[in-house]
Structure 1
Amino acid sequence: MPTLEPLRPDHADALLAFERANRGYFARSIPDRGDAYFAGFADRHAALLAEQAEGTCRFHVVRDPAGELVGRVNLVDLADGSAELGYRVAESAAGRGIATAAVTEACRLAATAYGLTALTAVTTVDNPASRAVLARNGFRLDREFLLGDRPALAYRRSLADLTD
């Protein structure tokens, strides 16, 4: 199964390649990051590492059993025992259970290593794969809203069962 690694400076090149290779795939289900994201990637990567060092966010890359970077899982805006979960998996890794396993591990880390008690997550209505990953990991629908011009869903998960 996949492994999560905390984001490090030496992940920059592989992470940029991952984002570029999957840009079109991701844009089919979530808003595109835009050209500026790619043009300023080195500065953005450094900023993420600084946020992680401050403890306000926890960023991870996902590696498949062969060691290839196939995804990322982020916990952002850590405050008051909660954070927002975000994740993306490469098109080449989709449908293999990698997202489900990576989110499972992120939930475990959130509860045990980061001391969080709850997570929230957002996905668009037209992304059934992401909705299934969240459901398999115990997230419950919290509300519906618009993400830009797209119908979206917000989910919540208590982590109490992971600290028993």
Structure 2
Amino acid sequence: MVTLEPLRAEHADALLAFERENRAYFARTVPDRGDAFFTTTGFAARLQALLDEQHARVCRFHVVLGEDGELIGRVNLMDLVDGSAELGYRVGEQAAGRGVATAAVAQVCRLAATDYGLTSLTAVTTLDNPASMRVLTRSGFTQVEDTTVDGRPGLRYVRRNLAFTPPAPPVIAG
């Protein structure tokens, strides 16, 4: 079982530790955030900017917590405009392959429809990230076009019917 919580300032230490611990793992499939992001000062500034965007209701950021309350991922809705937003997510290496991303995406899709008033979501992933493609497909997203992500070939997905929630596979305990 995973839990989503809206991103708060109190998550700062756990979130920075999570990002540092998984930096190399994430860099295999998504653009690296750069050295400045991982410094205490750089991270604090970025976190405050995210919280400001969330307060302005431009974006909705969430942390993913495991059964023991440990921060194991993030799932975000960016650029909320006209009932739509872009979905982004990442799950730490220790939690990968256990259905955590699929469960978190299912939860954020429900929140998007019920709490945030959204009707559609888009997402992109690189072609070398088949796990992300599976998460999106299992979560009711449809591939709509080829794209590039930081210069790498990728795919764009869309989910238009947020009211329908496809059944998610169970999270595997680990």
Same fold (TM over 0.5): yes
CA apart distance, 1:158:
1.1
Partner residue of 2:101 out of 94, 99, 102: 99
Identical positions, percent: 66
Where 1:161 maps in the other structure, the secondary structure is coil
Once residues 161 and 149 of structure 1 are traced to their aligned partners in structure 2, the CA distance between those partners, rounded to angstroms, is 34
* 1:48 aligned partner: 50
Aligned partner of 2:109: which letter?
Answer: C
Over aligned residues, Cα RMSD in angstroms? 1.1
How far off its partner does 1:92 sit? Answer: 0.1
Bigger shift: residues 79-88 or 143-152 = 143-152
Give the Å deviation of 1:124. Answer: 0.3
For 1:63, the equivalent position in structure 2 comes to 65
User: Which residue is 1:133 aligned to?
Assistant: 135
CA distance in 2, matches of 1:69, 1:36: 22
Contact 1:7 1:59 in 2 (8 A): yes
Q: TM-score, normalised by structure 1?
A: 0.96
For 2:20 and 2:38, the matched residues in 1 are separated by 8
Aligned residues: 163
Structure-1 separation of matches of 2:80 and 2:148: 23
Q: Judge conservation of contact 1:9–1:49 (CA < 8 Å) in 2.
A: yes
* Contact 2:110 2:162 (C-alpha < 8 Å) held by counterparts: no
State the 1:161 CA deviation: 3.1
Give secondary structure in 2 for the equivalent of 1:31. coil
Q: C-alpha distance in 2, partners of 1:38/1:161?
A: 37
* 1:7-86 alignment, distance < 5 Å: 7-39=7-39, 40-86=42-88
CA–CA distance in structure 2, aligned partners of residues 8 and 92 of structure 1: 23
Structure 1 CA distance, aligned partners of 2:68 and 2:150? 37
Give the aligned partner of residue 119 of structure 1. 121
Structure 2 contact 112–162 (Cα < 8 Å) conserved: no
Q: Distance in 2 between matches of 1:35 and 1:142?
A: 34
How far residue 160 of structure 1 moved from its aligned partner, in angstroms, is 4.5
Which runs of 5 or more structure 2 residues have no equivalent in the other structure? Answer: 166-174
Deviation at 1:162, TM superposition (A): 3.7
1:61-108 Cα distance to aligned partner (Å, 9 max, x none): 000111110000000000000000000000000011100000000000
Structure 1, unaligned runs of 5 or more: none
Q: Check whether the contact 2:109–2:162 (CA below 8 A) recurs between aligned residues.
A: no
- CA distance, structure 2, for counterparts of residue 37 and residue 134 of structure 1: 27
Q: Which residue of 1 aligns with 2:170?
A: none
Asked if 2 retains the 8 angstrom alpha-carbon contact of 1:75 and 1:86, the reply is yes
In 2, the alpha carbon distance for the partners of 1:120 and 1:46 equals: 25
